[in-house]
Structure 1
Amino acid sequence: MRFYEWVSSFLSGQRLSWLYVCYAVPIGLFLILATPPFQTPDSINHFFRAIQISEGHFLSERAGNTSGGPIDESVVGFTDIFFPMAARPAVKFDASMAARAAGRKWGGNKRVVEFPGTAIYPAYAYLPQVVTIGIARAIGVSVPATYRLTCIVDLLVSIALTVAALLLARRTALWIFAVALLPSTLMLYSSVSQEVLLVPVCFLLIAALDRALDERKPVERAPLFGVVLVAVACITARPPYVGLLLLLFCPALVMVRVHNDGPNTDRHYGAERRIVWLFAAVLACSAVIVMSSRSAWAPVPPPRSEAGQIAWLLHNPLEIGRVAWTTLRQNGVFYFESMIGVLGWLDTHMHKDYYRASGVMGLALVAVTLLERRGAVRAIRPADRLIVALALLTSIAMIFGALYVSWTPVGRRVVDGVQGRYFLPLLPLLALLLPARSSSGAESRALEALKVTCVAIVLIFPIYTFTETIEAMLSRFYL
């Protein structure tokens, strides 16, 4: 088999998924072993929330001026050992930390602690962690070992869901492969976080849309219900992703016409049904969010104020454009770098050359999609691309809008709290926005060679990721 044919063969879901596993497992396990406990964003609060749910407390409660609940004192003491390392690059992991943490058992005494950032998340967002913690406690596993075991299970679950997305996807397969192997994504996969499920489930949702757009088969009620249920799970774990519901309106997603006189294969757009499904999904999301947060919701402290920020925007609507421009101009580089890989508590940067190389890899991804021949994949019509673009832009705008209202001081011209990792689950949608080529002859052979070269860049880039991740982690936490 010629080299070009061999590289092209990895565009099939099965080969690509096997290659993905070969990369993701060793990089993920290295991150678990090399990252000291709780050195990923909000991991302490996520661990507390998972423990709370594993004890049967599906809803958090008010704790002081915020929200949280009672947590085993042994766990709180364990987190206190490593919290001083967070966002402090000068503080390294040492033998005394390991000695203080070793052998800590689950106690029994409880201490009320605050974890407002995660207290409002629905219980099912932590399913892998809850099951692992419950089993580990039942068989007498120590607190530190429970934490590491939870990270390992999270990694395996995330990889399995991503493999399912790769096998389902068409045009988005290589994008899912590349995004799932970025340092930021692998850091989330190998940590304790609700994003362990959120990110790969979003990949699955996009892969299902991709397959449906390619096959153009009528969508029946049962699979539609399943897709909407998955979308609701994603949105309730991160409400700004509500824009994904707009994907229901892609014209290529034709519906099966329902008749009273028996089965029928009539295909139609079904605008009324789509609107009903949209409103049902929004209501379900709202109900879950309200139920999950009502007992634990606490107002943000000054100088932040949700009501005050909304009032300021209503009185100054022309400032929205200025806020958007100023935010992107000031933080655009940070968004890109933290989307690619700023590990730890956003204190562990990769080498600058790595971010430049990531940009080249991204351009290679775009080129592969643009050079895909029509016939290999079905062309996506402009109307479908418009809906995908609206869904993507709406979700991104909601991310900035939600954090501007809830996390940014009133009247500030720059949005606070936005991180690049929030955009990771949405990136594969870009593959559906790009048109495929239609050419033949000598030009086609030249373009095919360029396409294979770009595919090769994407396929070998994770090797660079592994080497840079090793250097960054050792430098930050040990040297």
Structure 2
Amino acid sequence: MILHKKLELYPGFYEWFIARRYTLLYDKLHYLWGFFIAPFVIVMVFFTPPFQVPDEFSHFAKTDQVSRGVFMPGMNKDSLVGNQTSAGVKKLIEIKGYNDIASNKEMKVDAITSNNVRPSGILWDHKTEFVKNSNTAPYFAAGYFVQAIGLLISKNTGLNVISSFYFSRYLVALVCIVFSFFAIKIYDYGKLMMFVILSFPMTLFEYASVSQDGILIASAALGIAIITNDDIREKSGKKYYLLRLSGLLLLSLAAFGKPPYVLIYVYFLFSVLFYRRSGNGLSVFVPGLVILGVFVLWCVAVAPYTRIPLITEANPAAQIVYIKNNPLVLVDVVLRNAINNVDALSMGMFGILGWLDTKLSSNSYVIMKLLVYVMTVAGVVVSVYKKRYYALMSILIALLSLFLISLALYISWTPVGQGSVEGVQGRYMIPVFLMITYLLREDWLKKHKNYSKAVVATVAFLMYAVGLSSLFSILQRYYI
């Protein structure tokens, strides 16, 4: 009390002191993420051996193709989907040790050196060869721009191919960290839930790779945060118009990279138009529709190249015909698979690292399940109670997005007529859960300061412990 009276003699300093005294730890979540969680990403960049993130072989080939201005997929004389790729990239991804580690969970990184191969000896040259990367060739190029810039910088500075690979990983990690930091900072709704999702070991693992998935997750998080930020939506002017448009562009990356996310994009596109306190939503909605039109044209353009021959029995064209003749399969197989595999998909979303062969400690899964399920259920119940129709629509869009993910993989990956869906992975659920955070107002964390500090500190500590555990899981999988 005496201190307060003395400080009142200095009004400016007193206001600063009071603001500091009552600042919620909740409002500083972006700093907690940046200082305690983000460093795990940088460690994973160099800690995880090359090509040990799912499909990183194909993602690296796509990165090289984009770096040379090749954006559309191609097809060779044997009707294999891919494109011309630098010969050095092909040599690197074909090194036996990398392939062996990815397919054998008992094999360690010393398998590479045991083959008398020096990856550092593979240099860039002007030769190109056809590389079959049918699972990534049809992807939209924008998801690989950061990685491609990394390769271009590496080539011009004289780095070899393996060093260029690591530099691209590092550049992706930096961009994802920056996007995630600002997403948490400016988010007005489920900030704590977003903190948890962006701290999942699987999220961090994707951030530390050349895969487009890390860019898509970080872009979706920042896009949602910008689009739903009340200050940005309510203010007019060129600056705020460009911010709102950039939010839609960032969110559209997720849809271009994984078409089933298009419903999430459409949902937030209409939220821009119908936001009740904004009279300038139409100015952003119109270019948003143009982006949606480009998305449709892109899907039509790459449809002939959408072939996934990794499972020889899969035949997308024949599967579509089968679904037309047996429409009930959408319920009996596709929907049932999505419902029955919720627990397994959740585990994958939290983090089954490596080539889906490296599980975390059991305590890590318990912690993340408890946090996510409790926060989601409690937040959704409150949201449905307060804004029934709005909340039910959001839940419906989320469920439809999960259904479309299952349907897409049933068509592209699953043998015709099979009674289950192949290829569904938990990481595909992350953008859907980012959307759900918009339902979680978390007002209870803003009203009770001391209680809020305890909750936020506990959640941050638990996610830090989970991140640390994930590093030990990687160490044990590849080195010990």
TM-score, normalising length: structure 2: 0.83
Distance 1:98 1:238, change over 3 A: farther
Superposed CA deviations along residues 99-141 of structure 1, whole A, max 9, x for unmatched, are 6213321133332220011111122211111111011111210
Distance 2:312 2:151 in 1: 36
Query: 2:107 corresponds to which letter in structure 1?
Result: V
State which of 389, 406, 415 in structure 2 corresponds to 1:383: 389
Aligned AA for 1:177? F
Stretch deviating more after TM superposition (144-153 or 202-211): 202-211
Contact in 1 for aligned 2:180/2:218 (Cα 8 Å): yes
Q: How many residues align?
A: 451
Question: 39, 62, 69: which one pairs with 2:83?
Answer: 69
Shift in CA distance, 305/18, structure 1 to aligned 2, threshold 3 Å: same
1:45 alignment partner AA:
S
Corresponding residue of 1:9: 24
Tell me, yes or no, if the aligned pair for 1:184 and 1:342 is still in contact at 8 Å: yes
Offset of residue 433 of structure 1:
2.7
Shift in alpha-carbon separation, 1:299–1:32, aligned structure 2, 3 A: closer
In 2, the alpha carbon distance for the partners of 1:124 and 1:181 equals 24
State the Cα deviation string for residues 357-393 of structure 1 (Å, max 9, x = none): 2112224544885899x9xxxx973333233223322
Per the alignment, residue 165 of structure 1 pairs with 183
Map residues 97-108 of structure 1 onto 2, 5 A cutoff: 100-108=118-126
Q: Distance in 2 between matches of 1:198 and 1:221?
A: 23
Q: Which residue of 2 aligns with 1:110?
A: 128
- Alignment pair present for 1:339 and 2:339: no
Question: Is 1:141 the equivalent of 2:163?
Answer: no
Q: Secondary structure at the match of 1:68?
A: strand
Seen in structure 2, the aligned counterparts of structure 1 residues 298 and 304 have a Cα distance that, compared at 3 Å, is closer
Task: Give the 5 Å matches for 1:52-67.
Answer: 52-63=65-76, 64-67=78-81
> What's the counterpart of residue 422 of structure 2?
416
SS at match of 2:460: helix
Q: Please say which of residues 312-321 and 344-353 is displaced more in the overlay.
A: 312-321
| Alpha carbons of structure 1 residues 296 and 430: separation in structure 2 relative to 1, 3 Å | closer
Query: Alpha-carbon deviation of 1:91?
Result: 1.2
Q: CA deviation at 1:23?
A: 2.3
CA distance in 2, matches of 1:237, 1:193: 11
Q: What is aligned with 1:477?
A: 478
Q: 1:43 and 2:56 equivalent?
A: yes
1:430 corresponds in structure 2 to 436
Instruction: Determine what percentage of the aligned residue pairs are the same residue.
Output: 25
Distance 1:132 1:29, change over 3 A: same
Q: What is the CA–CA distance in structure 1 between the aligned matches of 2:442 and 2:175, rounded to whole Å?
A: 33
Q: Distance in 2 between matches of 1:189 and 1:92?
A: 22
Query: CA offsets per residue over residues 207-263 of structure 1, 9 Å max, x none?
Result: 12432499766898655544443333321111111111123334851486xxxxxxx
Name which of 247, 250, 263 aligns with 1:230: 250
Label 1:405 to 1:166 Cα distance change in 2 as closer, same or farther (>3 A).
same
Q: Is the 8 A contact 1:41 1:345 kept in 2?
A: yes
Please say which of residues 88-97 and 115-124 is displaced more in the overlay: 88-97
Output the CA distance in 1 between the equivalents of 2:444 and 2:122. Answer: 63
Going from structure 1 to structure 2, the CA distance change for 1:455 and 1:68 (only over 3 Å counts) comes to same
**SS of equivalent to 1:320:** helix
Are the aligned partners of 2:308 and 2:412 in contact in 1 as well (CA < 8 Å)? no
**Distance verdict in 2 for CA 1:336–1:108, change over 3 Å:** same
Q: Is structure 2 residue 97 aligned with structure 1 residue 87?
A: no
Q: TM-score, normalised by structure 1?
A: 0.83
Distance of 2:395 and 2:473 partners within structure 1 = 35
CA contact (8 A) 2:361 2:469 kept: yes
**1:294-309 superposed matches below 5 A:** 296-298=305-307, 303-309=313-319
How far the C-alpha of 1:323 sits from its partner, in A, is 1.5
Report if aligned partners of 1:51, 1:133 keep a CA contact under 8 Å in 2: yes
Which runs of 5 or more structure 1 residues have no equivalent in the other structure? 257-266
Assess, with a 3 A threshold, how the Cα gap between structure 1 residues 97 and 199 changes in structure 2: closer, same or farther: farther
Q: Hey, what's the Cα distance between the residues in 2 that align with 1:460 and 1:89?
A: 30
**Superposition map of 1:50-449 within 5 A:** 50-63=63-76, 64-81=78-95, 82-94=98-110, 95-96=113-114, 100-212=118-230, 225-244=245-264, 245-250=266-271, 253-254=275-276, 267=279, 280-291=290-301, 293=302, 296-298=305-307, 303-324=313-334, 326-328=336-338, 331-363=341-373, 365-366=375-376, 381-434=387-440
Is the 8 Å Cα contact of residues 54 and 354 (structure 2) preserved in structure 1?
yes
- Identify if the C-alpha distance between structure 1 residues 6 and 371 changes in structure 2 by more than 3 Å, giving closer, same or farther: farther
Equivalent pair of 2:26/2:453 in contact (CA under 8 Å): no
Alignment-mate amino acid for residue 85 of structure 1: I
Contact kept? 2:25, 2:452, Cα under 8 Å: no
Alpha-carbon spacing, 1:439–1:246, altered in 2? closer, same or farther (3 Å):
closer
Other-structure match for 2:458: 457
